[in-house]
Amino acid sequence: MSTLTSPEITRTASQTSVKVLAVAASIALLYYGHVFFITVLIAIIIAFLLDPIVTAFVKLRLPRAVASFIVCSIALLILYLLGLGLYTQFSGFVEDLPTYSQRMNEMVDNIATQVDHFEKQTYQVMVPKRFQEKEAPPAGTQPPGNVSRKKPAKPTPEQLTPPGTIQEVRIHPEPTPILPYVYGYLRSFYDVVLMASFVPFLVYFMLSWRDHMRRSFLYLFSGPGRQVAGKSWEGVANMVRAYVIGNFILGLLISIVSCLFFFAIRLPYWPLIGPLSGFLSLVPYVGLPLAILPPLLAGLITYTQPAIYVMIAVVIAMLHLIAINLLYPKLVGARVHLNPLVVTIALMFWGTLWGGIGLLLAIPITAAFKAVCDNVSSLQGYGKLLGD
């Protein structure tokens, strides 16, 4: 039986401490530099998605730089047309905001009246009549036998202060100016917009310089490690494409069915509400309430009967359950291979670090890490731990 000597124990403890500090420093770097890392990750995901299209143009004897420029231009044009359509629908919704606000006020007043009526009925049923409050006597009258006594007026602070005493002057703090708050909000918004403006350039350079970056990346390794690095690169790229395309196809199917249903019941702004509800349904764990909320809010402008809201909620819930339980495993789950516990922990971790965008990027980041572990022999144990 081998025992560790004192220097070996000290060396092991120091190595463990360094690893713990490195992990803590990495988490802090991810937290404080979240805008930068999110921008780079989104650009990498988009580049992986567009790379097969660029490769198809290259096979037509186009230079890779030209093919990358054409594909990026087409992608930007599609995004512009989608944004224009969403803006048109949203501008119409803004015009109906007064009607929506009036409808909301009517519903709130109706609910408050019903709650008050229910409370009165409950009070009359639960409390015996002899214990119920009697009607208050008219103003200015007093019960018999009571003699009204006027309470002496309380002395003012000036009357209590002896002559010649200096009174304490209280200085009220000035209210917090709104300018720093507005500046902080605009500063964070400006940082997001600034980083988002780099995404098209990052995607273009990643696509046009793909071969050079891949060769340079593989040169960092030697021998069998170079082959493992190449397989890891391809594994991550295939996983990201399968995950994003699978989610897009699934969200598109749910959106189409939702639009047909909303059009049939004459829901206002169904071209906007349908895709919004369909893709929100794919958000892990909270997708169902997020998918139900937009059509319910849009229906407040038109519908007055509660049965229509129940029908909307039931139909959206059925679409969500069918998509998640039947279609998701075939379109997405077959390529990701993550167990539910790891998915939950990943959502908690990345959601805590990066908020809402972290929930969307948690699964592809974790699946990419698993793809690397599956191709590296020393990390295959971690890959099995993450897998299903």
Element (H, E) at 367: helix 356-375
Instruction: Report helix, strand and coil shares of the chain as percent, to nearest 5.
Output: 75, 0, 25
pLDDT tens by residue, 323-371: 887 877 777 766 677 888 888 888 889 888 888 788 888 888 888 888 8
Neighbouring CB atoms inside 10 A of 67's CB total 21
Residue 142 has pLDDT above 80, yes or no: no
pTM, 2 dp:
0.69
**What angle, rounded to 10 degrees, do the helices at 340-354 and 356-375 form?**
130
Neighbouring CB atoms inside 10 A of 205's CB total 15
pLDDT of residue 357: 85
Residue 309 has pLDDT above 70, yes or no: yes
Give the SS3 label for residue 152.
coil
pLDDT tens by residue, 22-52: 888 988 998 888 888 989 999 998 998 898 8
Task: Concatenate the DSSP letters of all residues of 288-317 into one string.
Answer: HHHHHHHHHHHHTTT---HHHHHHHHHHHH
Query: In whole angstroms, what separates CA 341 from the centre of its chain?
Result: 20
Gyration radius from the chain CA atoms: 32
How far apart are the C-alpha atoms of 217 and 223, rounded to whole Å? 14
**Sign of the torsion formed by the C-alpha atoms of 14, 16, 17 and 23:** positive
pLDDT tens by residue, 83-121: 887 777 777 767 766 766 676 677 677 777 877 877 777
**Do 271 and 85 form a contact (C-beta atoms < 8 A)?**
yes
**Do 35 and 191 form a contact (C-beta atoms < 8 A)?**
yes
Write b or e for each residue in 233-262: b if 16 or more Cβ atoms lie within 10 A of its Cβ, otherwise e.
bebbbebbbbbbebbeebbebbbebbbebb
**Residue holding tokens 């291979």?**
337
pLDDT of residue 73: 93
Q: Give the range among 24-28, 124-128, 305-309, 311-315 with minimum mean pLDDT.
A: 124-128
How far apart are the C-alpha atoms of 94 and 54, rounded to whole Å? 40
**Residue holding tokens 């530099």?**
33
What is the residue-averaged pLDDT of the chain?
79
pLDDT of residue 256: 92
If phi > 0 it is left, if psi is from -120 to 50 it is alpha, else beta; for residue 376 that is beta
